[in-house]
Chain A
Amino acid sequence: MRRLLIGCALAGAAVFGLATPAFAHNVLVGSNPADGARLATGPTSVELDFNAPVQNGPNVITVIGPGGGHWEQTQNATVDGDTVATSVAPLGPAGVYTVGYRIISADGHPVQGEVTFTLTKAGNGKAVAGGTAAGPAASGGGSGSGGLPVWVWIVGVLVLLGIGVVVVLRMGRRTEDTAG
């Protein structure tokens, strides 16, 4: 029993050591431009405010125009506390623009959603070409050395452990049988 109590105490200490200060699942509480806003001139940046800090990681913001083109300068959004922002190219045709986001919550879970705003007067900008490719390509290059997909490793671990355990248990069976 005492061993058990000591174990529990150690476990409790370890848990509090591991715990990070923030755990919430982020919720969008505001944006600039606001959801449903009607603007005469396009914004130079889009800011999204959350109720909790956003973690560094693959935070993505897109701005999709009436024709389906991308207008965000870069998909890799900058994080400042609870706010995520990205710069926007000069907008083009009048109409509804959709700001899509997928950000890393304070608890590490990705959260996604969208807000929209309407451009009432057409600007003279052009859609950014290749907007979708910017995010994934940026950090994917350095991983060429780890060529095998990870599930192969996991299956390998499973097979090796399985064989190992069977072998050891079979060896163990003899000692167990002679002992008991």
Chain B
Amino acid sequence: MSARTTTVAPRAGAPATRYALFGCIGVGAPAGVLAALALTTTAAVPGIVEPGAAVVVGLPLARALLDLSALTTVGMSLLPKFVGFDQPERTAKATAVARRVAVWSSVLWLVAALASLEFQTANFSPGQPVTLSAIGDYVREIGSGQALLIVAGCALLYLVIGVLAVRRGETVPAELRITVSMFALLPLPATGHAADAASAWHDLTMISMELHVVGAVLWTGGLLAVIMVLGTNRALLADALPGYSKLATVCVFLTAVTGALNGWFELYLTPGVHWYVALFATGYGRILIGKIICVAAAGLLGAHVRFRLLPAIRQRKATAVAGWAAAEVAVMGVAFGLAAVLVQAPVVS
């Protein structure tokens, strides 16, 4: 986080409060991770070598960092779409900031993917040193290892394209950056726990999981980009926020519905316990409740911006939108932190 703020701040000529958004989401996510870990502590099994505390905490933290840098990169890539391409002289400064931030977030994305790979390997065979050959074995055996390598490759590709975009401006098409960054979202959900092999619903739950991730990233990343880059520019905010708001409305419902569906399905598929019992009795279920609360709260905050503040923003009036957006982003950070633990949590009490 610090690399991003210190490097970009002087050139953007922006008030430091702008970067407070990163602070909000950067505090929210670890809080979510720690809360979720507290909900899923498992008793030690006699005789079994377990991964150390650094791995137990580092694994979801690396995943949360991966998600946050991914959504920042996607959001910054989308920003030119929100402000439009019609008046380059008005928007040039804002899109230049977005391109720079995207470069740094893609560096973080790449590093977070590699760190996740290391932590997953350590978690895979506890008690053994994590060497390059151990990581190679892990990637050969396990789908999520392959997915992380693809993500790291995409982040590197984005970094190259992003640096080119900083140098050449919008002649490097925004669609290319959007495509690469959004493609990199897809491999990880495809290898997570989405459904039983024997289940006829397998394809549906996997598509639903992909939509969930894409929806959450567009919602949060778009908000982060629009408010961070345009928050102090009332004219551009008036142009960009209505467009984002439409996208976000769709994404809020998409994220909520697909998340509820997948969570319910995971509980429903667990043998030996009714899903409504598992919802309250298992760590998985409790994290799920936490995420539902987060999405509801963030949705309400978003609705406030959408219905109460947007009319004034359209008229280029001063509003407290940055504060409301910061709260929404912080809540979504918690949700992403919870998610980082949820994706690896078993449904056991």
A166 at the interface (CB under 8 A from B): yes
Contact residues, B161-209 vs A (CB, 8 A): 163, 166-167, 169, 173, 175-176, 178-179, 182-183, 186-187, 190-197, 202, 206
Cβ contact of B127, chosen from A101, A136, A175, cutoff 8 A: A136
Say yes or no: A20-B143 contact (C-beta < 8 A), given A143-B133, A161-B110. Answer: yes
Q: How many residues of A contact B (CB 8 A)?
A: 80
Cβ contact of B206, chosen from A19, A110, A113, cutoff 8 A: A19
Which residues does chain B contribute within 8 Å of A158, judged by CB atoms? 107, 111
- Asked whether, in the complex, the Cβ of B134 is within 8 Å of the Cβ of A143, the reply is yes
Q: How many residues of B contact A (CB 8 A)?
A: 77
Which residues does chain B contribute within 8 Å of A25, judged by CB atoms? 193, 266, 346-347
- Asked whether, in the complex, the Cβ of B118 is within 8 Å of the Cβ of A108, the reply is no
- Asked whether, in the complex, the Cβ of A150 is within 8 Å of the Cβ of B118, the reply is yes
How many residue pairs between the two chains, A and B, have CB atoms under 8 Å in the bound complex? 223
Cβ contact of B131, chosen from A107, A114, A143, cutoff 8 A: A143
Q: A106-B197, A172-B163 are in contact. List 6 more A-B contacts (CB 8 A).
A: A18-B187, A23-B196, A27-B347, A108-B141, A112-B42, A136-B128
27 pairs of residues in contact across A and B, judged by CB atoms under 8 Å: A11-B186, A12-B186, A24-B195, A24-B269, A25-B346, A26-B346, A27-B271, A51-B271, A62-B46, A64-B46, A98-B47, A100-B47, A102-B126, A104-B142, A106-B197, A108-B145, A112-B48, A114-B46, A132-B49, A135-B49, A140-B128, A143-B128, A147-B131, A158-B107, A169-B163, A176-B167, A179-B169
Point out residues on A near B: beta carbons under 8 Å. Answer: 1, 3-4, 7-8, 10-12, 14-16, 18-27, 29, 51-53, 55-58, 60, 62-64, 68, 70, 98, 100-102, 104-114, 131-132, 135-136, 139-140, 142-143, 145-147, 149-151, 153-154, 157-158, 161-162, 165-166, 168-169, 171-172, 175-176, 179-180
